[in-house]
Structure 1
Amino acid sequence: MDFLNYPQPLADLIAGLSRLPGIGPKTAGRLAFYLLQQPQIAESLADAIQNALTNIRECSVCCNYTDQDPCSICSSDKRDSSLLCIVEQPRDVASLEKTREFKGRYHVLHGVISPLEGIGPEQLTVQQLLKRLDGVQEVIMAMNPTVEGEATAMYLSKILKPMGIKVTRIAHGLPVGGDLEYADEVTIARALEGRRQL
């Protein structure tokens, strides 16, 4: 999108918004004009962004985003410290916590191994993970079912199994309400592998 006809501050705002994931230049333009027409919303948004940048940091234990260190999950004595769930991103912790089913603790890798993008174990929080395994009996790999997620799970499994730690993987399969007709072969195969007795 050509921003030449816009004043520079507006062009900069549109360019900044268009760098957000899922926001193209047209949507960025609509958002920019909306924010200019709604200054209270724009100021509130700017304050929220600044507040998050100032007060949110990584937990020194699990590497999740938090405003206190350690985070509320790591500091809770009601969580099972022998059970550790490894996830790719902080938003994955939020997704798992919504279920209210998992009672253990988490570790956030902040990505997955991806040689094509130059991301190896050194760019992830693998070293922090290895320092916190005392007393852990089971590690649940909860990475996304992608090539990179599978490679990361296999890499970590090869490190953890020799330590005598039970390593499991979350099941993958059909979503509730999904139709077999529209599912791909890999999803159906995973659903069959992860079947359980009724």
Structure 2
Amino acid sequence: MTPLRLAVIIGSTREGRIGDRIGRWFVAQARRRDGLAVTVLDLAGYNFPASLPAEPTAAMRSFAGEVNRADAFVVVTPEYNHSFPASLKQAIDYAYDEWQAKPVGFVSYGCRSVGLHAVDQLRTVFTALHATTVRDTVGVDLLDGEPTGRAEERLRQDARVLLDELCWWGLALREGRAARPYVS
């Protein structure tokens, strides 16, 4: 069977961010699973324009192409002011049809809410793009510092559950798109 192509999108581009570290941790969890081909799309590595140009740039086309190739996604996002970063919204908007009928999961981080306000906002955005968001998330509490012991095991268990759901939906929707193109 062809491996499920999972794209992990690191959504923060801020100086001093920790999203890249959390993203690398999640990617390590995902790469332990058979049947997954994992790609990292770190938004900090894309030279996106500050405002929407009349014609798509090479960076915009490259990102949309990666979204098109993927079968499933995990978005690694911080929570800023009860929402997600503008850099992430900008990147999401560079694709449209490419998101359709594909599952999206979330690894979020923040204080107290562990980024769940950002996830709630992202669920609405991805629903509008005809993507399917999975129920379970991985939430990292930044007040805990480096997770150790029980907290670390809980995060690994949450990652396993998220990956189980993404793999199920990813395979089902990939087979569905192959049998019957999605129409919106």
Q: Does TM, normalized by the shorter one, top 0.5?
A: no
TM-score, length-normalised on structure 1? 0.37
Using structure 2 for the length normalisation, give the TM-score.
0.39
Rg (Cα) greater in structure: 1
